[in-house]
Amino acid sequence: MGMSVERIDLGTCQWTVRAERTAAFDTVPEALRDDLAAGVAATVPGVVHTDLLSAGLIPDPCTGRHEEELRFLGDQTWVYSTTVRLAADSPASPRSSPTSPADGLDTVATVRVNGTVVGHTAN
């Protein structure tokens, strides 16, 4: 019997993005630290700069000298997260082993489902 496959469009989920408090977090301006660690609404696919701009946390990096002022953003570890509700009989249920969880992921990332690492990218 063949394995059942369920494709889930994660672009339709409600996402958040937050900065992890790693060593590089010390480069974040003090006034932004709590907001970046708490997280903001995110668009997937997308980039962290547009999410932070939409949240009113940073100025437009394409104007003035803002790109230089926002250089610290590239040093951060960003965590995108969402919740996916699945039917008990879904092939992607917690009892199964998800594969190819992020077609089109274009970054360095570790992909986790329910806390379990299911993939890595490094492109």
Digit-coded pLDDT (tens) for 82-101 = 888 777 777 666 555 555 55
Cα–Cα distance for residue pair 76/93, rounded to 1 Å: 32
Q: What is the pLDDT of residue 111?
A: 81
Instruction: Give the gyration radius of the chain's Cα atoms.
Output: 17
Half-sphere exposure of 106 (CA within 13 A, CB side): 5
Overall pTM > 0.85: no
What structural domains does the chain harbor? 12-83 (2.60.120.260)
β-strand pairing of 15-19 with 78-81 = antiparallel
| pLDDT tens for each residue of 13-68 | 899 999 999 999 999 999 999 999 999 999 988 899 999 999 999 999 999 999 99
The dihedral built from the CA positions of residue 48, 33, 28 and 25, taken in this order, carries a sign that is negative
Predicted pLDDT of residue 10: 80
